[in-house]
Copies of this chain bind each other. A is one copy, B any other.
């Protein structure tokens, strides 16, 4: 290996983290969430040291509108998996935490049984900063949880905003939770989210079996329309009830089936990592560019373009010729 960051001395949290100590894991995530430059450097050193031990988990993204019973579903599924011997970590990407600086997602009080389970680890969404920043820190938390031996990662987000794309881009399989009265309630789902779903689950199916059947049929038809013939995985619609536990085994069986093709998961992760690297690189290039540009001039040129006094191409050329330095 060439000399580089990996040549740094082992970070003190690395050994206890790899030994599965949850206090070390919690500290490591806090370090990765810090925006202090020295903490950021330290976190990157730690991350690169544990990277070779990460990746051995199934990463499941979950979304659904408020009221769909997301917490209850994740807790029921998580307890079932932890009881079966899995080590289950629950993470969250909550866009509201970006705006408010506070977060309700991943709140431990929402999942009382899972919180006290010795096989589980729950961490609320990082708060503050941009959505991209929150997503990055959640990606890093995934790596840290995996290095600590957690083999099931449940990453939740709410069914509004841009966070679903981010969570779908960091998980192996993306699950959309809906309600039995899909025809009415699903309309709250933002355009584009069903396209991300590898699995749709009609939750609370016990409350209205007839409506749940209808919702499942409608979702199946919609997924069929949305999926090309030659797709490597055909998204499907299932029913479940977090309350009674019905259907949870079927949901997990579908996850296992998806995972049964290791090539599929490897390809998806490789594509995700490559795309994430390029996204970070483009963002870095864009920040560097913006830092060197006259912001007043940019605003003025944009206004000229919007007023149809300059073509967009001319606006860009003027600005590129205009850069400081």
Cα A226 to Cα B219 with chains together (Å) = 11
User: Are the CB atoms of B229 and A187 closer together than 8 Å?
Assistant: yes
Cα separation A62 to B319 with both chains bound (whole Å): 34
Contact, CB under 8 Å: A225 / B186: yes
Is there contact, CB below 8 Å, between A227 and B187?
yes
A84 / chain B contacts, CB cutoff of 8 Å: none
Task: Type the 1/0 row for A271-315, where 1 means its CB is closer than 8 Å to any CB of B.
Answer: 001101100111011101110000000000010111011111111
A221 to B220, CA, bound (A): 11
B310 and A48: CB pair below 8 A? yes
A311, closest chain B residue (CB)? B47
Looking at A49-57, A119-127, A257-265, the stretch in contact with chain B turns out to be A49-57
A190 at the interface (CB under 8 A from B): yes
Interface size class of A (residues with CB under 8 A): 35 or more
Given known pairs A48-B309, A311-B47, the reply for A320 and B284 (CB within 8 Å) is yes
Stretch of A1-9, A96-104, A106-114 with 4 or more beta carbons under 8 angstroms from chain B: A1-9
In contact, B52 and A308 (Cβ under 8 angstroms): yes
A190 touches B6 (CB 8 A): no
Known: A44-B313, A281-B319. A221 touches B221 (CB 8 A): yes
> Do B282 and A286 have beta carbons less than 8 Å apart?
yes
- Copies of chain A in the complex: 2
Chain B residues within an 8 Å CB radius of A183: 221, 224-225
A228: chain B residues at CB < 8 Å are: 187-191
Given A188-B229, A309-B1, does the pair A289, B285 have CB atoms closer than 8 Å?
A: yes
Segment 32-91 of A: residues with Cβ below 8 Å from B: 44, 47-48, 51-52, 54-55
Please, how many angstroms separate the alpha-carbon atoms of A315 and B4 in the complex? 10
CA gap between A244 and B63 in the complex, in Å:
45
Complex CA–CA separation, A70 to B314 (angstroms):
34
Cβ 8 A contact of A277, one of B48, B222, B273, B316:
B316
Q: Which residues of chain B are within 8 angstroms of A169 by Cβ–Cβ distance? A: none
Pairwise interchain contact B312-A276, C-beta atoms closer than 8 A: yes
Given A192-B195, A218-B225, the answer on whether A5 and B314 have CB atoms closer than 8 Å is yes
Chain B residue at minimal CB-CB distance from A300: B2
Give Cα A279 to B200, complex, Å: 33
A interface residues, Cβ below 8 angstroms from B? 1, 4-6, 44, 47-48, 51-52, 54-55, 136, 140, 143, 182-183, 186-192, 194-195, 218-219, 221-222, 224-229, 231, 270, 273-274, 276-277, 280-282, 284-286, 288-290, 302, 304-306, 308-320
Given contacts A195-B195, A274-B305, A281-B315, 5 further A-B contacts (CB under 8 A): A44-B313, A51-B310, A191-B228, A284-B320, A285-B285
The 5 A-B pairs of least Cβ separation, nearest first, read A285-B289, A222-B222, A277-B312, A51-B308, A280-B316
